[in-house]
Structures are given as C-alpha cells and as structure tokens.
C-alpha cells in the first residue's frame, strides 16, 4: 500500500524542506521505497538539502508537459538506493501545474513507491493547492513562535476544508533551555492551542545547518541526536499514526519531550 504525505506549514522558513529530506532518508533507511517530491516550483531547494543539485536533468514540470519520462525525471539518491527525488522546475511558476495534474502524478508514483513525501511551498495559494492535491494526509511543521503557530492553525483549517484526515504536528527548532526558563512556548502549550496530534519534536541544533552545508541529511548520521529524532519519527509514520494517541496523553514536560525527541542519549551528548 502506498501513501502520499504532504509536509506543509503556511509560514516559510520553519523547516519543511529539511523535514521532507530527513523523513525521506529515514523511511528509506527503514526499507521503504520513498520518493520525495519538490512542489516548490520556481524556488526549489530539496535538491540542495539532499546534495543532489548537480544531478538534475529533467524536472516535475517537464514530466507533466510530456517532455520526458517519469524515470528520467527521478533522481536516485547517491547513498540510499530506496530514495528518489523528483525535483521542481527552477525557472517556472506555480501555475505551470494544476492540482489535477499533481493528482495524476502522485497516482503514477504510487505504482512504484511506498511513500511519496511532498515538500509544499510556503503560502496558501496555488502551490499549496497543488501540493495537497494528491496527498492522503499531511504533516504540519511549526516552530514555538507566534507567527509560525498562527500560520499552522490556518493551514490546519485549510487541510480540513480539503477533506484530508486530521494532520499531525511536527514542532521544529525546540529550545529546551528557553522552554525551561519559561521563555518559549512548550510542547503542551502548542498542542493545546492547535489541538492537533503530535508526530514529534525536533530540537534546534547546529547539526542541521552543517548538514545543509554539506548536502548530507542528519538522518544518515548514526550518532546525531537530531538524526535519531527523525528516524524515530519515521518509525512512527511506518507504524500507525493512530498508535500515537496514547503517547499524546503523556504528562511531565521534559520526560515527554525526551520521549518525543526519541533520545535518552540526548542528555549524555549535551553533558
């Protein structure tokens, strides 16, 4: 059975592309055949985060316009043979593709992949509509900031309106020190405001910047705590979203954060 998951946020710069890349890598490492699709036509970046920017010959728009075969547009990851990238066009506009064409494309990809992860552009216009068109469910990425949470709320409403199942929330750039000082909204605050089940929490980490510099997602790094957090999240996706309900009930902030980050080794690394 195949599933198409769109990674969206409303606000830009909260980590959609990094999330898509790392979940894609982690799911592929766990044995699934994965295609990550860059739906940000005109501003592609998923190729850069994956370090595949020099391998692009054809793109999503060229495939949709019949200028190449799907197999020609797909780029196999150089490290993980189960992982493929379908890059966006860089010099076209969002209107180059329609929601109908996206649904057709996702249907095609489902013949060959277990998971299709769609990296949604920021905003709520045509690019967003295209990105959710073929999706079976959504992951909403937010950060513990006012503006990101507000936009996440708007996006959650639009996902409901599009009659997709209830999305899951990924809280990115979580700064435990600030949370403990009471200077940052904590996980439970955010969940209370957005009333959306949690997929996981990713701590703010230098690893993410370094790995973007290298084009080498942290999910590949066996000893990276953040990589571990992504791998745990991928396991939850690979299992059943519904099984997470019990975990969502957990009390005790730091313990539950540690559980969601998925690393008891986190404290060892920092201290």
Partner 1 sequence: MRNTLKKFFGATNQSKDEAKRRLKLLLIHDQLDLTPDQIENMKHDIMGVVRQYLVINEEEADFRLDHVDEHIALVTSLPVAKIRENNG
Q: Does 224 bind partner 1 (CB under 8 A)?
A: yes
Q: Does 67 bind partner 1 (CB under 8 A)?
A: no
CB of 150 to partner 1, least distance (A): 30
Could you tell me if 155 and 8 are in contact, meaning their C-beta atoms sit under 8 angstroms apart? Answer: yes
Structure token pair of residue 195: 């009333």
CB of 79 to partner 1, least distance (A): 12
Chosen residue from 78, 125, 210, 267 binding partner 1 by CB under 8 A: 210
CB of 112 to partner 1, least distance (A): 23
Q: Provide the terminal-to-terminal Cα distance of the chain, rounded to the nearest Å.
A: 43
Piece in contact with partner 1 (CB under 8 A), picked from 1-9, 110-118, 167-175, 207-215: 207-215
Structure token pair of residue 76: 């196999």
Residue by residue, DSSP assigns 205-234 as -HHHHHHHHHT--GGG-TT-HHHHHHHHHH
Phi, psi of 170 (to 5 degrees): -115, 120
What is the C-alpha separation between 97 and 82, in angstroms, rounded?
27
What is the C-alpha separation between 24 and 237, in angstroms, rounded?
11
What is the C-alpha separation between 104 and 99, in angstroms, rounded?
9
Helix (H) / strand (E) containing 254? helix 253-261
Q: Which residues contact 161 (CB under 8 A, 6 or more apart)?
A: none
CB of 227 to partner 1, least distance (A): 9
- Our CB check for partner 1 shows the closer of 145 and 207 to be 207
Q: Does 240 bind partner 1 (CB under 8 A)?
A: no
Piece in contact with partner 1 (CB under 8 A), picked from 16-24, 51-59, 121-129, 142-150: 51-59
Q: Does 177 bind partner 1 (CB under 8 A)?
A: no
The rounded Cα 91 to chain-centroid distance in angstroms is 23
Q: Does 90 bind partner 1 (CB under 8 A)?
A: yes
What is the C-alpha separation between 202 and 205, in angstroms, rounded?
8
Q: Does 197 bind partner 1 (CB under 8 A)?
A: no
Chosen residue from 215, 247, 248, 250 binding partner 1 by CB under 8 A: 215
Q: Does 214 bind partner 1 (CB under 8 A)?
A: yes
Chosen residue from 3, 30, 33, 48 binding partner 1 by CB under 8 A: 48
Which chain residues interact with partner 1 by CB under 8 A? 48, 53-57, 90-91, 205-207, 209-216, 221, 223-226, 269
């Amino acid at each position: 059975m195949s599933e198409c998951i769109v990674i969206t946020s409303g606000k830009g710069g909260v980590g959609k592309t990094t999330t898509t890349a790392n979940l894609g890598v982690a799911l592929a490492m766990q044995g699934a055949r994965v295609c990550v699709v860059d739906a940000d036509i005109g501003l592609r970046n998923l190729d850069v985060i994956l370090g595949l920017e020099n391998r692009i010959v054809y793109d999503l728009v060229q495939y949709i316009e019949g200028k190449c075969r799907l197999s020609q547009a797909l780029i196999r990851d150089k490290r993980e043979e189960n992982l493929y990238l379908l890059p966006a066009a860089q010099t076209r506009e969002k209107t180059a593709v329609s929601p109908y064409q996206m649904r057709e494309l996702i249907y095609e990809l489902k013949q060959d992949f277990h998971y299709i992860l769609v990296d949604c552009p920021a905003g709520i216009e045509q690019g967003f509509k295209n990105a959710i068109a073929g999706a079976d469910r959504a992951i909403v990425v937010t950060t513990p900031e006012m503006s990101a949470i507000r936009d996440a709320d708007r996006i959650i409403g639009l996902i409901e309106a599009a009659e997709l199942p209830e999305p899951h929330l990924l809280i990115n750039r979580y700064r435990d020190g600030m949370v403990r000082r009471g200077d940052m909204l904590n996980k439970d605050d955010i969940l209370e405001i957005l009333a959306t089940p949690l997929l996981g929490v990713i701590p703010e980490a230098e690893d993410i910047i370094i790995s973007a510099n290298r084009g080498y997602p942290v999910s590949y790094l066996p000893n990276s705590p953040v990589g571990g957090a992504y791998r745990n999240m991928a396991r939850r996706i690979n299992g059943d979203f519904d099984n997470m309900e019990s975990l969502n009930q957990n009390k005790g902030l730091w313990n539950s954060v540690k559980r969601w980050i998925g690393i008891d080794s986190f404290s060892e690394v920092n201290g």
